[in-house]
Structure 1
Amino acid sequence: MANQSFLPVIPVATPEFKSGFIAIIGRPNVGKSTLMNHLVGQKIAITSPVAQTTRNRLRGILTTPQAQIIFVDTPGIHKPHHELGKVLVQNAVSAINNADVVLFVVDASSDCGGGDRYIAEILQKSQTPVVLGLNKTDLQGETREKLNESYQEICQENWQMINFSAVTGEGLESLQQELINKLDYGPYYYPPDLVTDQPERFIIGELIREQILLFTKEEIPHSVAVTVEKMEEGEKLTKIYAAINVERNSQKSIMIGHKGSMLKQIGSASRQQMQKLLSGKVYLELFVKVEPKWRQSRLRLAEFGYQVVDD
């Protein structure tokens, strides 16, 4: 029998303790992942200037003396152009109805747009409480009042509107308290020291994909999927073998680069991030595979971990 003392301990909550699931919803590239990383105090979601970076619904866990908040970081809601896009949007929309509270994040450094109004219409049909989060207020400057007014138009009477910056931390304390206020009393769902429910392999694959997005930029924006094929953990070194899947031979050439230069850059930057995550030395081996039209195939999407989530 396993030694029970090594199992994580989930405390018994007091009657005043609050808990629940908060879906972070918004258009692509409004700062949802940056916000969740800041709130949980650790990098668990990848960030990139490229839109539609988040693909899976990733859970981040924040435990305070008052509450345990489980943030669900969702893919940006957008008009899908392929099967992958349809799956991502379906998952984001389904998260709305399964959450206790929705945090609708917008880029408040620019005026409210059609994409924001589209999401607002979806949320109006839901019974889930909503907090409208105006992110990037550090970039508003003297136009803050005018920009805020444009979002006031989509803000419903029962929504709370809060300004904040996921980068500087301005307003996050107020945002966090408002989210706690909207939660019901409840139990601990996870041990207090846990910051995500995703396995290390998932986070490692995402760290590699982040570096691919940063280094290749628009050349291979969303045609890539990363799979961690093997992971060997030793006392002093963790060996990781991962496949980078692209759709065309031309993309494979870009990914490898002249004499392997691009792949070396991606590998080196990814390894540095992994060593922070794993708190130790990492040996990383990357190889590139061509999987034609994988984004159009439900079978390939499932193999790469992109499935419609109903729960």
Structure 2
Amino acid sequence: MKAGLVAVAGRPNVGKSTLVNALTGEKVAITSTVPNTTRRRIFGVANGEGWQLVLVDLPGFQRPMDALTERMQETVDGSFEDVDVVLLVLSARDRIGAGDRFVARRVFSLGVPVVIALNKIDRLKHGHVAAQMKVAAGLGDFHALHPVSAKVRDGIEELRDDLVHLLPEGPALFPREQHTDLTLEERVAEVIREKALHLTRDEVPHALMVEVDELGDTVRARVLVETESQKGILIGKRGAMIREIGTRARPEVEALVGHRVFLELVVKVRPRWRRDRKSLERLGL
């Protein structure tokens, strides 16, 4: 059979995680409009007749600002060893600029086939997409360039077929029933964080982290922030915000664990956790 690793690279907010979810047909990575939503390397596994495609969803390339973003960039830099293909993701809605060229120089230097996905083409005029494709084509010696929309799944099957074609012959890397390398606790924590990201703004989303303490008929999780003011925002007036986060998260949590649950969320302050490498290690980041 054919099986291999495809690193999914690009700057923040180009839709890498949405694209990984579309290619695997399973929600393995949370998504939001907040830059740096993806903080760790996540494997998304897609299986077909005679093939297994393992997509490596990575944080966006960035200039580190604190210990957390330093570790995120270290994760990116260390994730290109032993990959068989790189999927370079660009946003058709944004100018293809210096950040994209920086990522392109890095991935085209690896010596493996590079496939470019020009994402977010939905509701764009054909002329605009064509102009963006022309710019993208100048980034390097690519194997193929696919205009796609991960959101509406336009062009996804063709892109997946192209990636599978480039995979080497070899045994499956994951059991066929496994869709990701994340544990159940990690997936539940990420779902809760995603709903909190959708409901908050300014600095709060970047300071959010979730830890699951209990996973049974009752799911207990701590939502961590860095300051008392962030805690107040996250709890909301008379607990309205944290209740809404729980309400939005519960259906997906129940789908993951396979039964109905009581979801208990507690907001805690952990000062400067993003700048403390020991805290980041405890959090698995």
Task: Give TM class, smaller chain.
Answer: over 0.9
Give the whole-Å Cα distance in 2 for the aligned partners of 1:161 and 1:42: 24
Which amino acid is the alignment partner of residue 137 of structure 2?
Answer: Q
Residues 15-50 of structure 1: CA deviation (Å, up to 9, x unaligned) = xx1000111111111111111111221212101011
Task: Tell me if structure 1 keeps the 8 A contact 2:108–2:141.
Answer: no
Which amino acid is the alignment partner of residue 266 of structure 2?
Answer: F
Give the whole-Å Cα distance in 1 for the aligned partners of 2:16 and 2:234: 27
Structure 2 alignment gaps of length 5 or more? none
Counterpart for residue 148 of structure 1: 133
Q: How many Å apart are 1:219 and its aligned residue?
A: 4.4
Q: How many Å apart are 1:283 and its aligned residue?
A: 0.8
Map 1:1-80 → 2, pairs under 5 A? 17-80=1-64
Task: Tell me if structure 2 keeps the 8 A contact 1:111–1:150.
Answer: no
Give the whole-Å Cα distance in 2 for the aligned partners of 1:255 and 1:248: 11
Instruction: Return closer, same or farther for 1:222/1:98 CA change in 2, 3 Å cut-off.
Output: farther
Task: Tell me if structure 2 keeps the 8 A contact 1:97–1:128.
Answer: no
Q: How many Å apart are 1:97 and its aligned residue?
A: 2.7
Which amino acid is the alignment partner of residue 84 of structure 1?
Answer: L
Task: Tell me if structure 1 keeps the 8 A contact 2:85–2:112.
Answer: yes
Q: How many Å apart are 1:151 and its aligned residue?
A: 1.2
Residues 236-283 of structure 1: CA deviation (Å, up to 9, x unaligned) = xx2111111111111111111111111111111111221222232111
Q: How many Å apart are 1:218 and its aligned residue?
A: 2.3
Map 1:1-311 → 2, pairs under 5 A? 17-142=1-126, 143-154=128-139, 156-232=140-216, 238-306=217-285
Residues 50-83 of structure 1: CA deviation (Å, up to 9, x unaligned) = 1111111111110100310111111111122111
Task: Tell me if structure 2 keeps the 8 A contact 1:256–1:263.
Answer: yes
Q: Which runs of 4+ in 1 moved over 3 A?
A: none
Give the whole-Å Cα distance in 2 for the aligned partners of 1:290 and 1:246: 5
Which amino acid is the alignment partner of residue 92 of structure 2?
Answer: A
Please state whether the residue corresponding to 1:281 is helix, strand or coil. coil
Counterpart for residue 309 of structure 1: none
Please state whether the residue corresponding to 2:81 is helix, strand or coil. helix
Count of aligned pairs between the two proteins: 284
Residues 132-190 of structure 1: CA deviation (Å, up to 9, x unaligned) = 11111224313121111121221x22432111111121111111111111111011222
Give the whole-Å Cα distance in 2 for the aligned partners of 1:38 and 1:214: 20
> Which structure is larger by alpha-carbon Rg, 1 or 2?
1
Q: How many Å apart are 1:289 and its aligned residue?
A: 1.2
Q: How many Å apart are 1:193 and its aligned residue?
A: 2.3
What is the RMSD computed on CA atoms of the aligned residues? 1.3
Identity of aligned residues (%): 36
Please state whether the residue corresponding to 1:30 is helix, strand or coil. coil
Q: How many Å apart are 1:214 and its aligned residue?
A: 0.4
Give the whole-Å Cα distance in 1 for the aligned partners of 2:189 and 2:148: 30
Give the whole-Å Cα distance in 1 for the aligned partners of 2:107 and 2:56: 16
Please state whether the residue corresponding to 2:261 is helix, strand or coil. strand
Please state whether the residue corresponding to 2:22 is helix, strand or coil. helix
